[in-house]
Structures are given as structure tokens and as C-alpha cells.
Chains A and B, each alone.
Chain A
Amino acid sequence: MSATTTIQLFVFLLAGFVGMQAINRIPPLLHTPLMAATNAISGISLVASLVLAGSNEGDLATVLGTIAVACAVANIVGGFLITDRMLAMFKRTPTATEAQQVGDGASSVTKS
């Protein structure tokens, strides 16, 4: 195993741990928005798609890369817009009790 791979494994381990800890004990109110936001974040595969589409490594690579770029951009644009719309609904609730009521509504949508 090369030194680069070893370091990458460490990076993976530590980043995974951060991912686990960062959203620990998240209130049910935020389950659906977080799911939408991490969905948008998973569009990070755009980075790899861009490299493949622009690398000029033959027609197949360009075609696959271009479709991949389109898919990843659709994921990112759609994901962030929908998260924003969802979170904008929470904004109009000034008190904690009202936010809780909205939360119950949101989580019942999740369950249905």
C-alpha cells in the first residue's frame, strides 16, 4: 500500500468520525432538511465528473463525463434549492413552541 493511500485512509477515518459527531442528537424537526442538504452535498461527485469531462481522453470519456456533470449539477442545484425552500418555512416561526409545531408537521410528512 502506497503512502498516499495510507494517508487517504486516515483522512477517510477522521472525516467519517466528524460526520458522525457533527449531527449527533439532531432534533426530529431537522431530519428532512438535513437529508435534503446532505443530498445536495453528495453532489460533490461533480468534482470527479468535471475532471473526466474536460480531460479530452477519447469520445467515451467525454460523453460519460458530460452526462455525469449534468447529473451532478442537477443534484446540487435541485438539492440546495429544495433545502432552502424547506428551511425558509421555519423562518416565520418566532417562538420555540411554534417551531416545535412546525416540526411535528414536518416530521409527519416524513413518516407518511
Chain B
Amino acid sequence: MIETLIQLAYLLAAFFFIMALRALGRPESARRGMQLAAFGMAVAVLATLLHARIVSYEWLAVGAMIGAVVGYPLGMWVPMTAMPQRIALSHAFGALAATLVGVGEYTHNAATGSLAGGHVLALGLEVLFGGLTVTGSLMAFGKLQEILPGRPLTFRGQNTMNLVLLAAAVIGLGWLIVSPNEVWVFAAMLAIAVLVGILFVLPIGGADMPVVVSLLNSYAGLAAVATGFAIDNNILIIVGALDGLSGFILSIAMSKAMNRSFANVLFGAFGSAEAGG
């Protein structure tokens, strides 16, 4: 009975999120769109509080309070000109949440010995997308805030290294499907994700950073999708997919608005480095 109620609430929340995204695409209704999204979020969160797995609430309250204390200044006190880096920082928070959930679910299920191939594939993808979004966002924040040098940084063999890491991630995922209990493979996936996040943002210049921030938004959405598959939760899959695909389209649209091709923004530094050297 309660499970049905939760699912119906999720359905309602999904409806609000879709309407929100539509409204956000037009200037006259953008603010209503944001309110719809906030309402959808509230419905989804309240419904989740009824979830059968939640047995104690004190730590939820502690976490939520800390989050609100951190989030309020992030939202209210940051000057408008510092917008892209603040969004990047916020990404790092959201993606860190997804990554920690992935690690927590894995260790819990490893301890009870209830890891199955498909389940671990979802968890592996979750920490992969989550981890690279965390470090990628922090890198983007550093470059926009000028803590890190804003110019594109390239080094010899960077492309090769990226390809090797990508191949390692794919092999790792395959390995986890076959033998889900190899904890070190799971840890290696996390390490690869963290490294990929850094290497992916390193060769991109500070001026192109908003496109990257938008793309990282897309990855954060995909991490949420993977979480949804891992814990059988439809609202995570729906909202993650909405976020993931709209973020991807948005980063392409942003590249176009700068009269650049999407590939040129992401890999342009390699071309110029090769031409220069």
C-alpha cells in the first residue's frame, strides 16, 4: 500500500519535472518552471521518506541541516558574475552525493554477499560518472576562480593516456560483471573516475569552461540514472535522464552560441598544441 503511494508520488514528481523543463525553455515561463521543479523535488523527497528501507531519521535530519547551512550561502551570497564557478561547485556536491551512495551501496552489499553482476555494473557506472564529475567540477571551479591557471594545459601522450584510462574503465566494468566481489576492481574504478575528471578538464581553456560545466551536469544526471538502476528507483532514472540529455543538448547549444563546434571546445587544445609544436 505504502509502496504504491510512493510510486504514485514519484509519477506526479516526474510529471512536474517534465513540465518544469518545458517551462524553463521559454523566457516568460522560466521562473514558473523553476518553481515546478522545486515542487517536484519536494514531492519526490517527501515520498522517499516513506521508503521501507528507511528505519531511522536522526541522521537524515543532521545531514539535511548541514546541507542547508552550506547551500544557503552558496545560493544567496555569491555575486552574479561568479555564476559558472558556483554552479561547478554545486555540481561537485551533487556528484559527491551520488559517488558516496555508490560506495556505500557496494560495501553494504559486499558485506551481506548479495552482489549480482547487473547491480554492480550500475554501481560501477555510478561511481565512474559521479567521480569524474566531482574532480572535473572542482577543476572547472579552480580554473574559473583563477585558483588554477586558466589556459589549456596539455602534455605529451595525454590522448594516449585518456584512451588507456577509458579502456581500463571498460575492462573494469566487465570484470565487475563477471566477479562482482572484487573490491579492488571497484576501488580502481573510483580511482580511474577521479583521474579522468582531472585529465578531461585540464586541456580546456577557462573561456570554454561554461560548456564543460554544462557537460558535467549531464554526467551528474547519468550518475543519477545509474543509481536508479542500482537501487530500482524510477524517479532517479527519469530525472537523471531528463537532466543528462538536456545537459548534453544545452552544452552543444552553448558551443553553437559561441560559434564553436562542440568537438572543438572539448578537444580544441590538442589541435592547437600540435599545430604550435
Contacts and interface: CB of A to CB of B under 8 A. Distances in A.
Interface string A61-76: 1101111111111111
7 closest Cβ pairs, A-B complex: A73-B67, A81-B75, A69-B63, A77-B71, A54-B54, A78-B74, A19-B245
Interface in A72-88: 72-88
A23 B229 contact: no
A14 to B, nearest CB: 8
A87 B84 CA distance: 15
Contact of B21 (A19, A44, A81, A91): A19
Chain A interface category by residue count:
35 or more
Interface centre among B34, B49, B91, B97 (most CB of A within 10 A): B97
B5 interface: no
Contact of B72 (A49, A77, A84): A77
Contacts of A91: 31
Contacts of B31: 84, 87-88, 90-91
Contact of A33 (B24, B81, B90, B98): B24
Interface in A21-63: 22-58, 60-62
A95 to B, nearest CB: 12
Interface residues of B, number: 102
A90 B51 contact: no
Interface of B: 14, 17-18, 20-22, 24-27, 30-31, 33-34, 37-38, 41, 44-45, 48-49, 51, 53-57, 59-60, 62-64, 66-68, 70-72, 74-76, 78, 80-81, 83-84, 86-87, 90-91, 93-98, 100-101, 103-105, 107-108, 111, 118, 207, 210, 213-214, 217, 220-221, 223-225, 227-229, 231-250, 253-254, 257-258
B107 A60 contact: yes
A61 B104 contact: yes
Q: For A89, A103, A110, which residue has the most chain B Cβ atoms within 10 angstroms?
A: A110
